[in-house]
Each structure stands twice: as C-alpha cells, then as structure tokens.
Copies of this chain bind each other. A is one copy, B any other.
Amino acid sequence: MVESVTTTAAGRRPARCDDGAVERRYVLTLGCPDRTGIVARLSTVLAEAGATIVEASYHADESSGWFFTRQVVLAASVAASAEQLRTRFAAVAAELGPETEWTLHDTDERKRVVLLVSREPHCLRDLLGRAADGELPAEVVAVVGNHQDLEPLTAAHGVPFHHVPFPADPAERGPAFARVRELVDAHDPHAVVLARFMQVLPAELCEHWAGRALNIHHSFLPSFVGARPYHQAFARGVKLVGATCHYVTAELDAGPIVEQDVIRVDHGDSPADMVRQGRDIERLVLSRGLRWHLEDRVLVHGGTTVVFT
C-alpha cells in the first residue's frame, strides 16, 4: 500500500521558465474547505498515475478554514494525458465539495497575456523585454492603449497594438471599454495586465476578468489609494514609497494583493524624484506578480492571496 504512493516523493526539481529546455510539466492547484484527508486523496491520485512530483506546497488557513495546494509533476512520468488527469481530479474535486476550485495546467500550452497601457512606457517596456528574453512563461499577444504613444515600442517587439481612444468624459467611456473587452477577449488570455493603464475598469469588466486582471498600483496599498499616490506620499512625508500588484476588483485598489515592495526616500526627494525611483519598484513588483500568476503560484480566497513561491 505504501508502495503505491512511493512515486509521489521524488525529488523536487526546478520548474522555472528560464532554464532553457524545461521538461513538460502539469501544474495542479486546488483550494477547498479544509478537512482531513485532502493531501492523502490528492497524493494517491497522483501516485496512481505514476507522477513524479517536482514541487509541492500546502497551506491551511485557520481563519478562513480553507485549504490550498499546488503540485507540479513531470508530464513524462504520468501514464495519462492532461485531459485524463483532469477527469480524475474533477472526480476528486466533486468529493471535496461544491466550493472546491482547481486547475490543471499543461506547460506545453503556452499562456497568453494582453497588456493594457496608456502613455507611460516603463512597465510595458519591462514586460515586453522580459517576454523577449524568456523571463516570462507566456507570450504577449496584444497591447491595447487608450493613446497611441506606445505603438512604436510595441511594434518594435513584434506585438500587435490596438488603439482605443477614450472620451474625456468618464460617463461616455462605455463603448471604449466595450471595444477593449472585445479586443482582449479575442485572445482568451490567461492574464490581462493593467500596465499603468490609468483607467478605472467598470465593475462588470472587473467581474468578467475576475482572477485574471492584474494591476500595478504605484503605492504601498492600502496607503494612498487612487490618483497621484507619489504626491500623496510626499505630502504625508513617508520615508518609504512602494508599489502593489493586485487583482482588479470593482472596489478601487482594493483587490487581493499579489506582491508589494518598497524603496527608501527622504526629505530631499521631490514628488518627481519619487516618481522616478518608484518606477523601478513598479517594474519589479509587476513582473514578479505576473510571473507568479502565470506559473499558477497565486491562489485567491476571500480578499487575499496565497502565493507559493
């Protein structure tokens, strides 16, 4: 009996996107109400499939009573197709109750990312560069901008750019958002990144892209929600400024936080200095958050995230 699950214990091996030729893997994530037996149940399914586990993480949250796991197995070790594995896990998930959420990603299926931008190039440039250098496990399939400024930069990376002008009056932006939605959805992307998009998404779009839309906010949330956070930070006289990568929800800058970081500033830094220094933190935080999202390392529950790094 023990023998039947022995194959689950093999050594973890790096499953990172930039290792050159990385073996094909299946990445399982699962969240459900915590109860005894979940790990054993999942391990057995994997073991019976002969899976070699290369990464395994568990978390049970006492306050919410929720259980989370992420497991990575070598595809070559599994005597089943991804589809067959999915069928088996669907059965397990059914046992674990109707609230269970799970995914199984085949790394041979390359993920797709759409970027929403406005005029500021730094996040767009950083993500396009990382994608080009193989630092992101995904393809940037399109960029949508409400200004044309970033079209040349996008085109230089061989990525289609779509310009959707936005009317000055917020009340008249419905058609523009509808067009953005249409352009984005045409790619059925795994991630929609607001890379300094500077527009507040309407609630129904937040809902439609729930769990897929990532924003970079240029402050250490929950400090300085809304517009011009560096100017707010300067006015308050804080000694560190930061950036936050979070999922987009209908409430402004209140979505589940994926990653945050800060940088030290002092009285000699003007708001413009903070803007400049903050760009480095924005780039880092957004690229880390997006990478973790694409590697299925981020599980959302309630208003917070579990990030298995």
Check A220 for interface membership: any CB of B closer than 8 A: yes
Chain B residue nearest in CB terms to A220: B220
Encode contact with B along A231-247: 1 for CB under 8 Å, 0 otherwise: 00011111110100000
Q: Mark A251-263, 1 if CB is under 8 A from B, else 0.
A: 0000011111110
User: Is A165 in the interface zone, CB < 8 Å from B?
Assistant: no
| A contact patch SS | mixed
B8 and A39: CB pair below 8 A?
yes
Binary B-proximity of A1-32 (CB < 8 A = 1, otherwise 0): 11111111111111010110000000000000
Residues of B within 8 A of A52 (CB): 36
How many identical chains are in the complex? 4
Closest to A129 in B: B125
Binding stretch for chain B, among A80-88, A170-178, A200-208, A300-308: A300-308
Q: Which residue of chain B is the closest to A133 with respect to CB atoms? A: B121
Question: Which one of A179-187, A190-198, A267-275 contacts B?
Answer: A267-275
Q: A37 to B260, Cβ gap below 8 A?
A: no
B residues near A39, Cβ cutoff 8 Å: 5, 8-9, 43
On whether the beta carbons of B256 and A237 are closer than 8 Å, the reply is yes
Q: Quick check: B238 and A260 within 8 Å, CB to CB?
A: yes
Given A121-B133, A220-B240, A260-B240, A6 and B36 touching (CB < 8 A)?
yes
B residues in contact with A273, CB < 8 Å = 14, 16
CA distance A280 to B126 in the complex (A): 11
Give me 5 other A-B pairs in contact (C-beta within 8 A), A14-B272, A266-B307 excluded.
Answer: A7-B36, A13-B60, A122-B135, A156-B156, A240-B242
Query: What are 11 A-B contacts with C-beta separation under 8 Å?
Result: A8-B40, A9-B40, A11-B62, A12-B58, A18-B272, A121-B132, A156-B156, A220-B240, A237-B304, A237-B305, A239-B258
